[in-house]
C-alpha cells in the first residue's frame, strides 16, 4: 500500500476515534446529570417534605394525647358522679335504719308488738330491704321480717357470735358485710347493721340488721344517661360485678379483675376499651365504680381529626413533590444543555449554541455568557 493510501487510512481511523469519544463523554455526562438530579431531588424532598411529616406526626401525637386526657377526665367525672350517687343512696339507707332504731328504742320506748309493726312499715315502704331483724343487747333476735317467708317467733335465734352483732357492738359504728348472692334470686345483697345505744348510759341496747338488695343500685345506674359505647358497672373487692346497666351481666355471676391503672385495656366483654375506675367505701368494704367506653367511640373525634390531618398532609406532600420535581427540572435541564453545547464546541462544532431560557437568574446569565464566548471563538 502506498504512502497516500496509508495516510488516508490514518485519517479515517482518527476521525472514527474522535467520533466515538464524544459519545462516551455524552453518556458519562448524562449519567452525572442523572445523579445530580437525584441528589437535588433528595435534598429538596428532605427539606420540604421531611419537616412536614415531622410536624404532622407531632400534631397527631399531641391531638391523641389531648383527646385521651379529655376522655379520661370525662369518664372519671362520670365515675365520680355515679360513686357519689351510690354513696348517698347507701348512706340514706344507713340513716333510715338509724332513725328506725331511734324510734324503736327512743324516749317513747315502744312495746315489742309495736316494734315489729314499725319494722313491717319500713319493709312495706322501702323495697330495697330483703329482711329486717331486731337484736337485743345480747344478740338475740327479737323480731325478724322477711319478704321471702313469714317468720314465726318460735324460729327466732341468737346472733351473738355473728359479725353483724359483734362488730357494731364493739366498734359502736355501722357494719357492712361482704357482698353475697341470694340462693333463690341470684341477686347480690349486703348486710347492714346499726347499733342502738342508751342515750343516758351509753350502753348497747339493740342492733338493727338489714339485708340490703343491690337491685336498687342497678336501677340507679340504668337511669343514668350514657354515651355511645359507654358502660357503667360496680364491682366488689373480689371482682364480682354487683351492679350493671344490664341485669343479666350480674345474674350470670360475671367477674372483672380490672387493670391497676386507668387507660386503654381489655374491657368487661373482651374488647379494647378506655377504662376509668373510682373506689367507694362502706365501712370496711371497698367497691369500685367502673366506666368503660370502646376505644373506637372514645377516640372517634381524634380518629376523625387524624384522618383529616393525613389527607391534608398527603395533598400537601403531592404538591410539594410536584414543586420539587419542577424546580429540579428547571435547574438541571439548562445545565445539561450548557454542558452538551460545551462538549460539542470542544469537539470542533463552533456553531453550537444554547437556547436562552428566561429564568431571570444566574442560569440565564450563564447561557448568555456561554453563547457570547462561543460567538467569539467562532470568529477568532
Give 103-138 as a DSSP string: HHSSSS---HHHHHHHHHHHHHH-TTEEEEEEEETT
111 falls within a domain: yes
Q: Predicted confidence band at 45 (pLDDT cuts at 50, 70, 90)? A: low
pLDDT reported for residue 279: 93
167 falls within a domain: yes
* Helix, strand, or coil (residue 274): strand
Q: Which is more confident, 193 or 378?
A: 193
CB 82 within 8 A of CB 291: yes
Write the DSSP symbol of residue 283: T
Alpha carbon 76 to its chain centroid, in Å, reads 13
Q: Is 109 left (phi over 0), alpha (psi -120 to 50) or beta?
A: left
151 falls within a domain: yes
* Helix, strand, or coil (residue 159): coil
Measured from the Cβ of residue 179, the count of other Cβ atoms closer than 10 Å reads 20
Which stretch, 3-17, 53-67, 185-199, has highest mean pLDDT? 185-199
Q: What percent of the chain has pLDDT over 70?
A: 82
Residue 140 belongs to domain with CATH number: 3.30.450.20
CB 279 within 8 A of CB 288: yes
Nearest CA to 171 out of 204, 141, 199 is that of: 204
Least confident of 49-53, 213-217, 224-228, 244-248: 49-53
| Mean per-residue pLDDT of the chain | 80
pLDDT reported for residue 276: 93
Q: Predicted confidence band at 201 (pLDDT cuts at 50, 70, 90)? A: confident
d(CA 122, CA 120): 5
pLDDT reported for residue 28: 53
Q: Predicted confidence band at 202 (pLDDT cuts at 50, 70, 90)? A: confident
Residue 209 has pLDDT above 80, yes or no: yes
Nearest CA to 297 out of 206, 229, 222, 218 is that of: 229
Residue 270 has pLDDT above 90, yes or no: no
Question: Which range of residues forms the domain containing residue 92?
Answer: 87-214
172 falls within a domain: yes
Nearest CA to 337 out of 20, 26, 13 is that of: 26
d(CA 375, CA 380): 9
114 falls within a domain: yes
Count the domains in the chain: 1
Q: What percent of the chain has pLDDT over 90?
A: 22
108 falls within a domain: yes
pLDDT reported for residue 17: 46
- pTM for the model stands at 0.69
Query: Angle at the Cα of 206 (from 196 to 129), degrees rounded to 5?
Result: 85
Q: Who's near 380: CB < 8 A, 6+ residues apart? A: none
pLDDT reported for residue 235: 93
158 falls within a domain: yes
pLDDT tens for 137-184 read 999 998 888 888 888 888 889 999 999 999 999 998 999 999 998 888
pLDDT reported for residue 9: 39
CB 76 within 8 A of CB 262: yes
pLDDT tens for 55-111 read 777 877 777 777 788 888 888 999 999 999 999 999 998 998 888 877 777 645 556
pLDDT reported for residue 158: 93
104 falls within a domain: yes
Alpha carbon 261 to its chain centroid, in Å, reads 12
Query: What is the chain's alpha carbon radius of gyration, rounded to the nearest angstrom?
Result: 45
Sheet holding 263-266, edge to edge: 241-244, 230-235, 285-294, 272-282, 263-266
pLDDT reported for residue 241: 93
**Could you give the C-alpha distances from 345 to 295, 338, 370, 373, in angstroms and in order?**
70, 11, 11, 11
Residue 214 has pLDDT above 90, yes or no: no
Q: Which is more confident, 47 or 240?
A: 240
CB 117 within 8 A of CB 125: no
Amino acid at each position: 500500500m502506498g504512502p497516500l493510501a496509508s495516510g488516508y487510512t490514518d485519517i479515517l481511523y482518527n476521525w472514527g476515534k474522535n467520533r466515538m469519544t464524544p459519545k462516551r463523554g455524552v453518556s458519562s455526562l448524562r449519567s452525572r446529570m442523572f445523579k445530580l438530579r437525584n441528589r437535588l431531588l433528595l435534598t429538596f424532598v428532605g427539606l420540604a417534605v421531611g419537616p412536614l411529616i415531622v410536624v404532622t406526626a407531632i400534631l397527631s401525637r399531641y391531638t391523641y394525647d389531648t383527646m385521651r386526657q379529655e376522655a379520661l377526665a370525662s369518664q372519671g367525672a362520670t365515675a365520680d358522679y355515679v360513686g357519689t350517687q351510690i354513696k348517698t343512696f347507701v348512706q340514706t339507707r344507713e340513716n333510715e335504719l338509724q332513725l328506725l332504731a331511734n324510734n324503736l328504742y327512743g324516749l317513747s320506748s315502744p312495746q315489742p308488738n309495736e316494734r315489729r309493726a314499725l319494722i313491717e312499715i319500713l319493709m312495706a315502704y322501702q323495697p330495697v330491704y330483703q329482711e329486717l331483724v331486731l337484736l337485743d343487747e345480747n344478740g338475740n333476735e327479737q323480731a325478724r321480717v322477711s319478704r321471702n317467708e313469714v317468720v314465726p317467733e318460735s324460729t327466732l335465734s341468737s346472733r351473738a357470735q355473728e359479725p353483724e352483732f359483734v362488730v357494731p357492738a364493739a366498734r359502736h359504728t355501722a357494719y357492712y358485710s361482704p357482698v353475697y348472692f341470694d340462693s333463690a334470686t341470684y341477686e347480690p345483697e349486703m348486710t347492714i347493721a346499726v347499733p342502738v345505744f342508751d342515750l343516758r348510759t351509753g350502753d348497747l341496747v339493740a342492733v338493727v340488721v338489714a339485708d340490703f338488695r343491690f337491685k336498687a343500685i342497678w336501677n340507679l345506674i340504668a337511669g343514668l344517661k350514657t354515651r355511645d359505647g359507654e358502660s357503667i358497672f360496680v364491682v366488689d373487692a373480689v371482682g364480682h360485678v354487683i351492679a350493671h346497666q344490664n341485669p343479666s351481666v350480674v345474674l350470670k355471676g360475671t367477674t372483672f379483675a380490672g387493670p391497676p391503672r386507668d387507660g386503654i385495656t381489655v374491657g368487661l366483654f373482651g374488647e379494647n376499651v378506655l377504662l376509668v375506675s373510682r373506689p367507694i367505701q362502706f365501712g370496711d368494704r371497698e367497691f369500685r365504680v367502673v366506666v368503660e367506653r370502646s376505644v373506637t367511640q372514645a377516640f372517634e373525634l381524634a380518629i376523625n381529626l387524624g384522618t383529616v390531618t393525613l389527607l391534608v398532609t398527603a395533598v400537601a406532600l403531592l404538591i410539594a413533590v410536584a414543586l420539587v420535581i419542577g424546580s429540579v427540572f428547571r435547574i438541571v435541564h439548562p445545565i445539561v444543555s450548557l454542558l452538551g453545547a460545551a462538549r460539542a464546541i470542544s469537539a470542533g462544532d463552533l456553531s453550537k449554541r444554547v437556547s436562552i431560557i428566561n429564568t431571570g437568574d444566574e442560569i440565564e446569565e450563564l447561557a448568555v455568557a456561554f453563547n457570547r464566548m462561543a460567538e467569539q471563538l467562532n470568529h477568532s
